[in-house]
Structure formats: C-alpha cells, structure tokens
Amino acid sequence: MDLRLTGKTAVVTGASRGIGLATVRALVAEGVRVVGAARTVTPELKDSGALPYAVDLGTPEGPAALIAYATAELGGVDFLVNNVGAGDDVHLGGFLSTDDAHWQGTLDINLLSAVRAARAALPGLVERRGAIVNVSSIGARQPGLGPVAYAVAKAGLTAFSKVLAEEFGPQGVRVNTVSPGPVRTAIWEDPDGFGAQLAAAHGAEHATFLADLPQSFGITSGRITEPEEVAALITFLMSDVAGNITGADHLIDGGVVKTV
C-alpha cells in the first residue's frame, strides 16, 4: 500500500527509544522528514535519519520551542505525534501515597506536553491540513490497571484528542488516539523499570513475570505488542489513506480490553 507520505514533515516526541523511535524509523522509511524530540538524544535516534532535538517536554516552554525548531528546519509541520510519556517515573504507590509533585509531573509530561505542542503546532497544521496522533494507553479505559496519576493523565489525553478532532476537523486537521497495551519496551524490560517494580511487588522474578504477562493480563493474542506494530498504526493514521478517520481511539493491545 502506497501511503503517499514522501516529502511530508513530522514531529515525534519521546523519540529516543521504544514506540517513539520505532515511529521515527517508520516515517523516515516512508520518505517523511522528521524531527525526533527527546530529553536525552540516544545514539539510536541520531542514526535514525531524523533531526534529533533535545528538549524537556515536561516544561511549559519545551513544546513550543520544539515546534518552532521543527517549523524552521522543515519549512512547516504536517504531522505531530505526541508520544512522550512517563515510563521511568511511574511508581506503584496508591492514591494516598501520590503527592502533588508526582501528580504535577505526571500531568505535565503525559497530558500538558501534548496540549502545549498542539497549541504551538495547530496554526501550521490548519494551513497544511495536517494530522495529530496522541499516544495514550489502555489505562485510560481500564484505569484500575495502572497507577492513579498515570491513568488519569492518559484518560485526559484521550478526551483531549476527541475535543481537538471536533474543533479542528472542519478546518482539515485530523486527530486520533492510539492506545497500546503492554509493549516490548524498556518500561517493561529494563531491570530498573516499571515492569521490574511490578514483578517485585508480586514477589516474582522479572523474567518469569514477563513470560507470564500475556496470561496474567488476559492478552488474547498470547503476546505483548512490538513497538514497530504501534508505529505502523501511527504511520497509517497520518496518511491520506486514513483520510476519513478522525476522533477515534485505536486500541492495539492484543485483546486486553474486552468491552465493546
């Protein structure tokens, strides 16, 4: 299938690894010129074919600076992928152990970074009839699966996508959400990451916990999602092939969410 993306431009946040890096690579392979933004520019991002940009998107000024840079370097932005999110900073404590600082940090990176990036990018996206994909989580639909601040932030991001789709759809901008379940990234596989914390909380070895994760999460397909699969969905949603898809939340979770 020809996605007809050659010559388009994109900004991808959280681009140093995982879903973000896979999305950068997928877009570059389709002929898209990409600015990949991350707090830390990794060697993999440098070698991806994208223009790397180091920025803290959890700050009020970070997203606007990113869009200004991308607009200047690319001559305009056609696509925005708001993928950055708290993975390293997610903690397993319940509501009463989640203080204001953690709430604010989680909201800043998971929700407000997308709000601020969209605010900066939308004038140009309207002019170019572009598209936005926000990367949320199945935790927005099943908040009991995740830490409270993270789940609430992702639910807000999903609602934000719908609001933008309604307001800017008549102006030619499509906005969609992609909501992954567990994905084979450092969040789950890093020995100091969220997956390792969750394994320890259940009294399990990390490797054993990961092997049992499809069954324990009720993943119908029997395996967790690969970053490249999420990237392929994002890339499709950016293209004109998906030209009448907007305001939708697309699950990619192997069947974890059982409701219609």
Q: Which of 148, 73, 59 is nearest to 112 (CA)?
A: 59
Of the residues 3, 34, 48, 150, only one is catalytic, namely 150
In total, the chain counts a number of residues equal to 260
Structure tokens at 41: 């520019």
List Cβ neighbours of 97 (8 Å cut-off, separation of 6 or more): none
Tokens 């999420």 locate to: 230
Torsion on CA atoms 52, 234, 221, 152, rounded to nearest 10: 80
**Is the pTM here over 0.75, yes or no?**
yes
Which CA distances in Å does 45 have to 48, 54, 98? Answer: 5, 11, 33
Question: How many CB atoms within 10 Å of residue 31?
Answer: 12
d(CA 23, CA 21): 5
pLDDT of residue 193: 85
Return the pLDDT at 194.
Answer: 84
Q: What is the model's pLDDT at position 88?
A: 60
In what order do the strands lie in the sheet containing 33-38?
51-54, 33-38, 9-13, 79-82, 131-135, 174-180, 249-252
53 part of the active site = no
Instruction: Walk me through the domains of the chain, giving residue ranges and CATH numbers.
Output: 9-181+226-249 (3.40.50.720), 185-224 (no CATH)
Lookup: tokens for 211? 């092997």
Confidence of residue 93 (pLDDT cuts 50, 70, 90): confident
Tens of pLDDT, residues 230-246: 999 999 999 999 999 99
The model's confidence at residue 87, banded by pLDDT at 50, 70 and 90, is: low
Contact 132, 164 (CB under 8 A): yes
pLDDT band at 148 (very low <50, low <70, confident <90, very high): very high
DSSP 129-143: T-EEEEE--GGGT-G
Q: What is the pLDDT of residues 164-187, one digit of tens each?
A: 999 999 999 999 999 999 999 988
Question: Which range is least confidently modeled, 20-34, 79-93, 156-170, 207-221?
Answer: 79-93
Separation between Cα atoms, residue 34 and residue 37, nearest integer Å: 10
> Would you state the pLDDT for residue 51?
98
